[in-house]
Amino acid sequence: MATIKSTDESFDALVKENKIIIFDFWASWCAPCVKMSPLLEEISEEMKDVKIAKHNLDDEPNVPVTHGVRGIPTLILFLDGEKKSTKVGLVPKSEIVSWIKESIA
């Protein structure tokens, strides 16, 4: 399963519909965001129970503000509809996977 597109309108529904979902707050002009994108695609293929949604700050600016996104890339993990953890910045794939596993344990 590839990543999902998140919008300001679909955000709440995505949180409710998915047991584990990670939102990647990003922008096309952000080099670290672009570098992290293929890592998240790989993770979405490997961790079938984890959904990853990409939320473009330029196109959909409201949700990031309400969730305190101040830098990008920012990953926010929701578990059972609740915000569990946030990770900011470009990190290796192994660190993202470890963060996910610790957050859902």
Instruction: Encode pLDDT of 72-92 as tens digits.
Output: 999 999 999 999 999 999 999
**Residues tagged active-site:** 30, 33
Res. 104: pLDDT tops 80 = yes
- For helices 93-104 and 31-46, the axis angle rounded to 10 degrees is 60
Q: Whole-angstrom Cα distance, residue 21 to residue 91?
A: 18
State the pLDDT at residue 1.
55
pLDDT the model gives residue 2: 84
pTM comes to: 0.96
Per-residue pLDDT, averaged over 40-61, amounts to: 96
Classified as helix, coil or strand, 31 is helix
* CATH number of the 4-104 domain: 3.40.30.10
Percentage of residues in the chain having pLDDT higher than 90 = 98
CA distance 58 to 1: 25
